[in-house]
């Protein structure tokens, strides 16, 4: 018998995205977001939900572009800070000792220190209530050579950061199985 | 200098959702999905993207409802199987030795063996290309008593399953920091 928790925004695991954009003055900014994910395969697209009050909201609309930088666990303090304050009050890149790289493909900056980044063109917005869901078409994904192996990205080399709705950050744990494979025995 | 990987659907961590629905014959079905997340706070809403060819796609549209059951790591074989085959050919609940519980709130079943489940009313659909993004308003989240602590869900008791785009499942790892707290020192 399960216990009712009510109409909560509970889902897990949640990602930890650093959403990069330029504000109206051309200042590079990042915002930490846990509400987003892959939304489409063809065209490849990611979605991220942002409150209308956030500086990032107007920045994405103005530039019709954003990036998502995927932080590793060692950046946890910077990540948390970037979710606590507004880019209207702080130069978050400077405060976090992070370097902004201007994308060649879209009008948005990404975080040099994140091993993997996605550059996105805004193709849709859906106003869902408190949050606007921005749909970004993937123009490119870029990764540091050090996190790549013969089959692409290697989680163990990335040491990704994970968010859990108990307001806790976690690292990735043990390998639990190969997808599209471990379940075949049930056929 | 980062290396270009192209227009790929790369993001991490990815969730592992068991999306529950009833087909046109009233048969309970689940589909494994990694493309989804929280999309709005007020109203509380989750999104999940499903290909039009999937049985789950027509089932959600017919019933205007779905559930998301959040599997623990010990269910990894069942989870993988439910992503490999169609509910048109298999009774996935039976094949996976899982029990379908009919939601009292929406016309969809959830998985008894998953410690946390969300019951969702379909409030929007966005056709984005290969995938339709279904937006479900949260009618309730339910959890087993065993995974609850004084502050709600406890990740360590849940042992959640995580998907990484290298087609690997992982368990959750070490605690990496308290959110809305560990970054305060940067202020």
Note the pLDDT tens digit of each residue in B121-172: 999 999 999 999 999 999 999 999 999 999 999 999 999 999 999 899 999 9
Express each pLDDT in A139-155 by its tens digit.
999 999 999 999 999 99
Q: Percent of chain B having pLDDT more than 70?
A: 100
- Global pTM? 0.97
Q: What pLDDT does residue B185 have?
A: 84
Quote the pLDDT of residue B1. 85
Q: Is the ipTM of this complex over 0.95?
A: yes
pLDDT at B186: 78
Residue B180 with chain A: CB contacts under 8 Å: 80, 83-84, 167
- State the nearest Cα–Cα gap between A26 and chain B, in angstroms: 23
Tell me what pLDDT residue B152 has: 95
Greatest Cα-to-Cα distance within chain B, rounded to the nearest angstrom: 58
What confidence tier does B74 reach under pLDDT thresholds 50, 70, 90? very high
The answer, yes or no, to whether residue A59 has pLDDT greater than 80, is yes
Contact status, residue B168 vs residue A181, Cβ threshold 8 Å: no
Q: Pick B17-186's CATH classification: 2.30.110.10, 3.40.50.300, 3.40.50.11540, 3.40.50.620.
A: 2.30.110.10
Which residues in chain B are closer than 8 Å to A148, comparing Cβ atoms? 3
Domain ranges of chain B: 17-186
Distance from CA of A25 to the nearest CA of B (A): 23
**Residue B70's closest CA among B117, B136, B34, B120?**
B117
Mean pLDDT confidence for B20-44: 98
Cα torsion through B130, B121, B76, B132, rounded to 10: 0
Over residues B22-33, the mean pLDDT reads: 97
């Amino acid at each position: 018998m399960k216990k009712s928790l009510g109409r909560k925004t509970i889902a897990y695991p949640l990602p930890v995205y650093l959403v990069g954009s330029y504000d109206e003055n051309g200042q590079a900014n990042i915002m930490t977001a846990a509400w987003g994910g892959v939304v489409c395969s063809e065209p490849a697209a990611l979605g991220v939900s942002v409150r209308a009050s956030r500086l990032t909201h107007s920045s994405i609309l103005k530039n019709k572009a954003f990036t998502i930088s995927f932080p590793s666990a060692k950046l946890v303090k910077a990540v948390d800070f970037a979710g606590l304050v507004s880019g209207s009050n702080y130069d978050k890149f400077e405060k976090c000792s992070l370097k902004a790289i201007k994308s060649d493909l879209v009008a948005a900056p990404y975080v040099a220190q994140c091993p993997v980044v996605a550059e996105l063109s805004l193709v849709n917005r859906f106003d869902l209530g408190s949050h606007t869901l921005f749909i970004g078409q993937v123009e490119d994904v870029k990764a540091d050579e050090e996190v790549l192996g013969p089959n692409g990205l290697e989680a163990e080399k990335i040491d990704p950061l994970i968010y859990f709705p108990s307001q806790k950050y976690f690292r990735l744990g043990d390998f639990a199985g190969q997808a599209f494979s471990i379940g075949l025995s049930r056929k």
